[in-house]
Amino acid sequence: MMKACVTATVYCLPEALLKNEDLAAKFGDWTADKIFEKTGIHERHIADVNECASDLAVLAGKKLLDQELCTREEVDFLLLCTQTPDYFLPTTACLVQDRLGLRTTCGALDFNLGCSGFVYGLGLAKGLIETGQARNILLITAETYSKFIHENDKSVRTIFGDGAAATLVQAVSLDGNLSIEAIGPFVYGTDGRGAENLIVPAGGMRQKDLVESAGPSRDAFGNERTSANLYMNGAEIFNFTLRTVPASVNQLLEKLQMHFEDFDWIVFHQANQYMLDHLQKKLRIPKERFVISMEQTGNTVSSSIPIALADLASTGRLKSGQRVMLVGFGVGYSWAATVICWRAGC
């Protein structure tokens, strides 16, 4: 029986940079060093006005295919996670299929998730492979949140960056040992009561047009936004994280009858460093196994976990056969946790 396995992941980032120095010059109240101290971020990559999710997805996809672990013709399914599609329709994955030159007998779909998207994507890929529907899946996360962000909203401009990651999930034989999983088990969670705490209110079908005629509103911290811009209630999100992440991680450990020391790496969604540091201490995760990887990218939403994995792999720290816990959480609210055995059976 074939099992789904993560065999490679790469990423690409837009060229334009938003550095702490740029933010310090614009907003004035924080120095560049202070911004880094508070966020753990030096710079974020920002998509050009004409650069969309499909463009980043194609770049990442090409980079992955250049590794020649599988040919274009062998890719039989494309999963694209994005909350900033090129169009409402058609599906952005269809555009990416065409531009990557994937075969027309390849399945392709978009799914709309943010910070939990990569882990959900692994669940979808595992389902497709282990039910015999696919063998070589391109799981791409591509996000351009910057296009939602008001230029005078410091709260989110300091945090979010754009980027795309492409991950190859392949069917592998694990020598007939059905008790070994190369991906899984999974813990999933959803709580729509948190919907309004990370939201772009206007532009979708619920509110197609802006209602403000007097321009953007300003919050208590001086951040400006319209209903077409990203709004994030950081305090509510933090409370959600503190409620759900420890519980879901413990649920995963319980399923596996394992402890943190049984994992080579623990990669959480790279939301912001302050939150990650707090979670690491709260859960008593060994610091040397807990990955922080956002200095040069910021929070890239669904791409943050695969970007961290790619950096671990490209620097030689992530080795074949190593066990990695992945935990995504955020917008929705939505969360998911899983374990992968990197390049198992390869």
Partner 1 sequence: MANENDLFSHLEQILEMNPGTLQINQNVRELKTWDSLKLLEVIAFADSELHVELDAESLSKCGTVGDIVSLLSASVRSQQSGNR
Task: Select from 84, 92, 155, 170 the one that contacts partner 1 (CB under 8 A).
Answer: 155
Window contacting partner 1 (CB under 8 A); options: 3-11, 69-77, 96-104, 237-245: 237-245
36: contact with partner 1 by CB under 8 A: no
Window contacting partner 1 (CB under 8 A); options: 73-81, 139-147, 232-240, 335-343: 232-240
**Alpha carbons 201 and 264: distance in angstroms, whole number:** 40
**Alpha carbons 316 and 264: distance in angstroms, whole number:** 13
**Does residue 106 have an active-site annotation?**
no
Task: Select from 22, 234, 251, 256 the one that contacts partner 1 (CB under 8 A).
Answer: 234
**Alpha carbons 276 and 262: distance in angstroms, whole number:** 20
Q: Are 148 and 229 in contact (CB under 8 A)?
A: yes
**Does residue 299 have an active-site annotation?**
yes
**Contacting partner 1 within 244-303 (CB under 8 A):** 274-275, 278, 281-282
CA atoms within 13 A on the CB side of 273: 16
Per DSSP, the residues of 288-323 read GGB----TTT-B-GGGHHHHHHHHHHHTT-S-TT-E
Task: Select from 227, 233, 251, 296 the one that contacts partner 1 (CB under 8 A).
Answer: 233
Closest approach of partner 1 to the CB of residue 239, in Å: 5
**Contacting partner 1 within 42-101 (CB under 8 A):** none
**Does residue 115 have an active-site annotation?**
yes
Residue 34 CA, distance from chain mean position: 26
Catalytic annotation, pick one of 115, 223, 229, 272: 115
**Alpha carbons 133 and 188: distance in angstroms, whole number:** 22
Active site members? 115, 269, 299
Judged by the rule CB under 8 A, the positions of this chain that interact with partner 1 are: 29, 38, 155, 220-221, 223, 233-236, 238-239, 242-243, 274-275, 278, 281-282
